[in-house]
Amino acid sequence: MRRLVQGFAAVFIAAFVLMFVTHRLNEAEGYGGGKTVTVYNWGDYIDPALIREFEKETGWKVIYQTFDSNEAMMAKIAQGGATFDVAVPSDYAISKMIEEKLLLPLDHRKLPNLQYIEPRFLNLSFDPHNRYSVPYFWGTVGIVYNREMLGGKTITSWNDLWDPSLRNQILLVDGAREVMGMALNSLGYSLNDTNKAHLQEAKRKLDRLMPNVKAIVGDEIKLLLANEEAAIGVVWSGDAAEIIAENDKLDYVVPKEGSNLWFDNMVIPKTAKNIEGAHAFINFMLDPKHAAQNAEYVGYSTPNKKALRYLPKDIAGDRRFYPDLDSAGHLEVYENLGKQMLAYYNELFLQFKMQQK
């Protein structure tokens, strides 16, 4: 009997140790809870000093993990393995996550700093009344161009990119919605167009652009443009700000035909373990001084109207990155096109990419 009791005790101790080790490993891998807040964000998309300040102020340790696409982020959350307390998806992804019941409603009573968000950035189509998300950064998609490399030429239109003199001079960001949207806008169509005849027309026009395309790339587009490896790039506005900071020969323009107005918002995934900590982190990032510090570090535009007071004037007053949206009716937010239509966009974009030499 004594041996039997000892055997049970050994099994119990081993099981307890295994549970403890598993718990610690889970925390490290994003299975949050307890004294941790697990944040899932884009790479290089927060000032690390703010994480340290949040930890010091609240006593919660932040476990910070990154993703490189909305699709990868949504897939990981949908699988339900790793737990994330806060995530930062883009507008169309938020709509999709709401549809698929991947998000928890926010308690606005725990987010007093929400009052500082510019009203025009609230209650948008992808999340009415901001029930599930609050703005983090916003921006546009446009064109960075090197005036000297273009002999003083100014770019104002998407259609300028089809100029034969620009052969092998253009870098495109590796994004189906951005590149297909560019072509659709150049034809006078919406970047949310679902008419397959229009999409095929846009694809044919992109094919005619290929002689001017030097490469279709990811994050390296910033370094390539700053180092004058190409004269023109189609990029997000925050990347444009970073590139221009490295090389003042460059300029940024939102083409006159129209473009994308995008938003990245903070949400609480349905598998969150530390809901209190998630609200605390979101509210911390909504603090005007924190929002200004974050915007200056990352280079993207803050939706926090009071934060603009704490930004250097040359940043807050730069109309390339803080445009007058009252007169920007040609900008569109990406809509959730649904799985089939999004797959069709991706298919056309892949066909275009395969033509690269």
The answer to whether the CB of 222 falls within 8 A of the CB of 243 is yes
The answer to whether the CB of 252 falls within 8 A of the CB of 299 is no
The answer to whether the CB of 212 falls within 8 A of the CB of 160 is no
pLDDT value at residue 20: 46
Rounded CA separation 256/254 (Å): 7
Q: What is the sign, positive or negative, of the torsion defined by CA atoms of 58, 64, 68, 74? A: negative
pLDDT value at residue 19: 47
Domains present along the chain, CATH in parentheses: 7-135+263-315 (3.40.190.10), 137-259+322-352 (3.40.190.10)
pLDDT value at residue 172: 97
Block means of pLDDT (10 residues each) for the chain, 357 residues, are: 50 49 44 79 95 97 94 92 93 95 98 97 95 97 96 95 97 94 97 97 98 94 97 95 94 94 97 96 98 96 97 94 78 90 95 89
Contacts of 24 (CB under 8 A, 6+ apart): none
Identify which of 283, 354, 42 has the alpha carbon closest to the alpha carbon of residue 346.
Answer: 354
- One-character DSSP codes across 17-73: HHHHHHHHHHHHHTB-BTTEEEEEEETT-S-HHHHHHHHHHH-PEEEEEEES-HHHH
List beta partners, residue 217.
173
pLDDT value at residue 219: 85
pLDDT value at residue 60: 97
Rounded CA separation 21/131 (Å): 37
List beta partners, residue 62.
37
Contacts of 328 (CB under 8 A, 6+ apart): 254, 261
